[in-house]
Every structure is written in structure tokens, then in C-alpha cells.
């Protein structure tokens, strides 16, 4: 089998991810970073793989048309908005993912950034390096209302972690209401109330056309002047232009963003002191990378061996 690994890193945390594939013709990501659309297209067309172990790069019907040998896409991670599932189904291409592996890592990074913004730790670090001893007064989670939008694996784990901090109020919403109602000590409510009432709003929903710019100018305008917005989901969930305007107009408002519409991100948020940015770091813990990468390789091996017990999306 010809297998191309488009994602990076891969096989560094745990060599088993590559050892499982050693009997096959495997090509790795030669640039050691996320491919652009043109870069991934050129490599796929030249190699003509049977199987892709994929990152978050986008696939289209047009690209699939140029890959007649393709039998499987094994996604490293939880999101699948980059893969056209309907088109894969038409072509008989199996699509799998590793939904459980990155969830705790993302939930922990969310907590990290929540505490960072509420206690101004990154701000005072910058100030000290500039020679300014500024003891900024922050807030404790127990005196804050926290809003969690999206109660899937990550949102639910985050709520479990928050429970120990005993926030003043934990408000949740999910398109599947039963998921939100199943979270103890959380109150199910509307998006409007979450954006209006909460000191911290954190978003954990999948990307889709319906969710494009879900957090827009209207929702941002509802938020408290000193609120914190966290996006650990997908680029495109938050309207980056509207977010920049909000941050420029009110320096007490702050945001933590891990995913961007275009990555690597080089936009204007980099210049704003009230924007705390990470380079799609949510899944970058040892346990998470091991689970995703080895899990994706195991899905490939099961598929090659004809095992039907796959984490199938298609």
C-alpha cells in the first residue's frame, strides 16, 4: 500500500505510529509544517496514494477526482470539517478519525488560557520583561460566570474540570439539548444569555458552513466590557475581523485563540496585547499526540486487514 502522511508532527512522540506502517510504502510530510492547499495537492497527485493519514488540510471533490487510487483517509484528530464526507461516500473512500485522543488536551489548554486571562499572567510577564513591576488585580473563577458553548467530548471534560473551581455560574448550550442537560451543576440556556451574562465564554463546536462566523459582531457586542472569549474549536467559528475591532475598541476585553481561518496565522491579532494566541496547540500534549497518531495508524492497519471495527465517519 502507498501511504502518505500529510500531517506534522507524526511518529516523534511515539515511534509506534510509524512502526505499524513499516511494511508499506510510506511518504512523510517533507516540509515539517502544515501544507498549503497547493503543496498538499502537488504531493498527492505526484504520489497517488492508496491511503492518506491526514491533518487539517482541506480536501475537495476536485482533488479527490485526481486521486483515483485513494481508498482511505485516516484523520489524525477529532475534527472532520476538512474532509468532504459526502464525496468520499460516493467514491467508496473510507474516512476514519481518532475522536477521544485530543479531547483532554484541548480542555486543559482551555483552562490554562482561562486562568491566564483572568489573572493577567502573560500581561505581567511582558511588563516585567519591559522593566515594569505591575501587580495587576485579577479575578477568581469562583466569582465568575462561565459559559460553555458545545457539550461534546471537549466541552463536557471542560465542565468537569471547572466543577472543582466552583464558578459562580456555569451556563451551557449545545445544539443537542440532551448533551447540555446531562452536565451536573450546569444551567442550560440560550446563546444570547451566555454572551450577555458570562465573564468567560468558551466555544467548542465543530466547523460547518452553518457555523461559519458563529461568533460575529452581534454576539461580540453583547459581551461584558471585561469579558474573555476563548476559541479552541476551529478557525472560521469566530469572525476574526469583528474580533479585531472588538479588541481594538476595548482593551479590557480579551481573547485566547488557538485556531485560525488561515494557518499559519500572520494577521493583525498578533499586534494586540489583549489577544493571547497559540499555534493550533490544543492537541499538542504527549498523550494526545500519541493517541491520535498511533490511533490513526491502527485504523489504517485495521482497514488493510479487512477489520470492520473502525472509527468510521464514512
CA distance 231 to 260: 9
- Is residue 313 included in any domain, yes or no? no
Q: Which residue has the cell 474549536?
A: 233
- Is residue 149 included in any domain, yes or no? yes
Between CA 170 and CA 253, with CA 166 as vertex, the angle to 5 degrees is: 60
CATH number at residue 23: 3.40.50.720
Tell me, yes or no, whether 25 and 110 share the same domain. no
Tell me, yes or no, whether 121 and 234 share the same domain. yes
Tell me, yes or no, whether 198 and 241 share the same domain. yes
CA distance 130 to 127: 5
- Is residue 254 included in any domain, yes or no? yes
- Is residue 310 included in any domain, yes or no? no
Tell me, yes or no, whether 230 and 118 share the same domain. yes
pLDDT of residue 79: 84
Tell me, yes or no, whether 114 and 46 share the same domain. no
> What does pLDDT average to over the chain?
96
pLDDT of residue 312: 95
Question: Which structural domain range is residue 204 located in?
Answer: 103-277
Between CA 8 and CA 13, with CA 10 as vertex, the angle to 5 degrees is: 125
Q: Which residue has the cell 469572525?
A: 239
- Provide the residue-wise pLDDT of the chain in tens; the chain has 314 residues: 999 999 999 999 999 999 999 999 999 999 999 899 999 999 999 999 999 999 999 999 999 999 999 999 999 998 889 999 999 999 999 999 999 999 999 999 999 999 999 999 999 999 999 999 999 999 999 999 999 999 999 999 999 999 999 999 999 999 999 999 999 989 999 999 999 999 999 999 999 999 999 999 999 999 999 999 999 999 999 999 999 999 999 999 999 999 999 998 999 999 999 999 999 999 999 999 999 999 999 999 999 999 989 999 99
Tell me, yes or no, whether 223 and 91 share the same domain. no
Tell me, yes or no, whether 80 and 112 share the same domain. no
SS3 category, 124: helix
Tell me, yes or no, whether 248 and 169 share the same domain. yes
pLDDT of residue 251: 96
- Is residue 309 included in any domain, yes or no? no
Nearest partner of 58 among 81, 79, 75, 39, judged by Cα: 81
Contact of 300 with 51, CB cutoff 8 Å: yes
Tell me, yes or no, whether 145 and 18 share the same domain. no
Element (H, E) at 295: helix 286-304
Total structural domains in the chain? 2
Tell me, yes or no, whether 80 and 63 share the same domain. yes
Q: What confidence tens digit (pLDDT) does each residue in 91-124 have?
A: 999 999 999 999 999 999 999 999 999 999 999 9
Q: What confidence tens digit (pLDDT) does each residue in 117-145 have?
A: 999 999 999 999 999 999 999 999 999 99
Tell me, yes or no, whether 144 and 90 share the same domain. no
Tell me, yes or no, whether 254 and 293 share the same domain. no
- Is residue 59 included in any domain, yes or no? yes
Amino acid at each position: 500500500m502507498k501511504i502518505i502522511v500529510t500531517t506534522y508532527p507524526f511518529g516523534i512522540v511515539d515511534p509506534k505510529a510509524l512502526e505499524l506502517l513499516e511494511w508499506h510504502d510510506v511518504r512523510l510530510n517533507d516540509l515539517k509544517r502544515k501544507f498549503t492547499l497547493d503543496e498538499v495537492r502537488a504531493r498527492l497527485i505526484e504520489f497517488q496514494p492508496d491511503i492518506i493519514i491526514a491533518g487539517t488540510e482541506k480536501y475537495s471533490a476536485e482533488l479527490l477526482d485526481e486521486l483515483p487510487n485513494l481508498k482511505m483517509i485516516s484523520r489524525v484528530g477529532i475534527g472532520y470539517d476538512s474532509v468532504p464526507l459526502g464525496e468520499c461516500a460516493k467514491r467508496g473512500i473510507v474516512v476514519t478519525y481518532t475522536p477521544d485522543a485530543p479531547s483532554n488536551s484541548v480542555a486543559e489548554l482551555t483552562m490554562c488560557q482561562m486562568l491566564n486571562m483572568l489573572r493577567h499572567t502573560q500581561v505581567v510577564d511582558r511588563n516585567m520583561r519591559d522593566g515594569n513591576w505591575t501587580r495587576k488585580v485579577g479575578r477568581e473563577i469562583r466569582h465568575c460566570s462561565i459559559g460553555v458553548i458545545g457539550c461534546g467530548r471537549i466541552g463536557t471534560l471542560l465542565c468537569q474540570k471547572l466543577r472543582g473551581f466552583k464558578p459562580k455560574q456555569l451556563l451551557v448550550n449545545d445544539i443537542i439539548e440532551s448533551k447540555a442537560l446531562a452536565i451536573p451543576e450546569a444551567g442550560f440556556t440560550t446563546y444570547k444569555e451566555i454572551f450577555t451574562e458570562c465573564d468567560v465564554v468558551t466555544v467548542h463546536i465543530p466547523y460547518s458552513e452553518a457555523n461559519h462566523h458563529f461568533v460575529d459582531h452581534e454576539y461580540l457586542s453583547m459581551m461584558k466590557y471585561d469579558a474573555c472569549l476563548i476559541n479552541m474549536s476551529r478557525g472560521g467559528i469566530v469572525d476574526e475581523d469583528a474580533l479585531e475591532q472588538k479588541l481594538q475598541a476595548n482593551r479590557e476585553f480579551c481573547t485566547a485563540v488557538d485556531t485560525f481561518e488561515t494557518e499559519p496565522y500572520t494577521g493583525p491579532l498578533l499586534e494586540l496585547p489583549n489577544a493571547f494566541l497559540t499555534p493550533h496547540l490544543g492537541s499538542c500534549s504527549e498523550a494526545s499526540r500519541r493517541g491520535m497518531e498511533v490511533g490513526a495508524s491502527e485504523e489504517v492497519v485495521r482497514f488493510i486487514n479487512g477489520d470492520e471495527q473502525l472509527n468510521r465517519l464514512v
